[in-house]
Amino acid sequence: MLAFSIRRIIGAIPTLFVLIAISFFVMRLAPGGPFSANRKLTEAIIANLNKAYHLDEPVWMQFGRYLWGLLHFDFGPSMKYRDFSVTELIVHGFPVSLEVGFWAMILATVVGIALGIAGALRRNGATDFSAGAIAMIGIAIPTFVIGPLLQIFFGLKLGWLPVAGWDGSLNAKILPIVVLALPNIAYISRLTRGSMIETLRTNYVRTARAKGIGARRVIWKQALTGAMLPVVAYLGPATAITVTGSVIVEQIFGIPGIGRYFVEGAANRDYPLVMGVTILYGGIVILANIVTDVARGIIDPKVSYE
């Protein structure tokens, strides 16, 4: 088990390295330097700026410098927010992103599983139908359409929740978390429903029923454990969807997290900022995939560590 985890972590190192290398070289090769958008500068000033940011060194030396910095959690200086380093920006914005993302994952898992079970137990009933409809909407209508629609409905028409903004109050957090959770609610409820229906038909569940174990106990103890396997396997991709979705949600609701820095950075060609967020989020997704694999190994006896 431990050996498996370690092997899985070592296997992820090339992915992380390629991610860092791709982001670094793309940023260096991309047209339009960070200073070209500014007012006209004299050559001497540009040369000085390039020197200050080590842009005059050979590319491989810059890459080495960047890697060395990463080992110290130093993502370099931001080129747009001159007074901040990328690390400072990330430290400032990440807790906000993490809070929204964490609660969105919790909400998606709880509601998704509940809807899925309800649908599986009363197939083709009203609950099943509405759960299916929610799932369909969550999958087919993208976040950036649902978000503004909910803003209109709950923010403007009903006036229950603030349209956007982030003042730390609970009310301001509800809409972003729900919107971020919606696609995953859809996928998780579909997965749970499918695998629950399948599990209820298996021999071991029938045996348990035949032995006289009550329906409720069978559902919660026997069937649910078996039905959860695909859901656990989905948690890796769910993290990726949440991370990507947070970029959109932070943009729509004006949340000061690092997803918004990513969009602004890409628009302003603030290379170090874009790289920092990409590497951090890439690292989180890679880590989530490892955790998912290990968790599957623990729960599912059929997964071998070979």
Distance CA 242, CA 224 (A): 25
Out of 4, 5, 8, 12, the residue judged to bind other proteins by CB under 8 A: 12
Q: For the chain, how are helix, strand and coil distributed in percent, rounded to 5? A: 75, 0, 25
Q: Which of 5, 15, 50, 127 binds other proteins (CB under 8 A)?
A: 15
Three-point CA angle 238, 295, 181, nearest 5°: 20
- Out of 1, 10, 29, 71, name the contact with other proteins by CB under 8 A: 29
Closest CB 23 distance from other proteins, rounded Å: 6
State in angstroms the smallest separation of the CB of 147 from other proteins: 7
Kindly state the smallest distance separating residue 151's Cβ from other proteins, in Å: 6
d(CA 53, CA 56): 8
Question: If you search the block for the tokens 């992103």, which residue do you land on?
Answer: 97
State in angstroms the smallest separation of the CB of 239 from other proteins: 9
Task: List the one residue out of 244, 295, 218 whose CA is nearest residue 8.
Answer: 295
Q: Residues 6 or more apart from 106 whose CB is under 8 A from it? A: none
Q: Among candidates 89, 61, 59, which has minimal Cα distance to 76?
A: 89
Q: Is 247 a residue that touches other proteins (CB under 8 A)?
A: yes
Minimal distance, residue 210 CB to other proteins, in Å: 26
CB-based contacts of 7: which residues, under 8 Å, 6+ apart? Answer: none
**Min separation Cβ 216 and other proteins, Å:** 28
Binding span for other proteins by CB under 8 A among 50-58, 167-175, 222-230, 262-270: 262-270
Contacts with other proteins in 112-151 (CB under 8 A)? 136, 139-142, 144-145, 147-149, 151
Query: For residue 182, which of 277, 252, 90 has the smallest C-alpha distance?
Result: 252
The residues of the shown chain that bind other proteins, judged by CB under 8 A, are 12, 14-16, 18-19, 22-23, 26-27, 29-31, 136, 139-142, 144-145, 147-149, 151-152, 156, 163, 240, 243-244, 247-248, 251-252, 262-263, 266-267, 269, 274, 277-278, 281-282, 285-286, 289
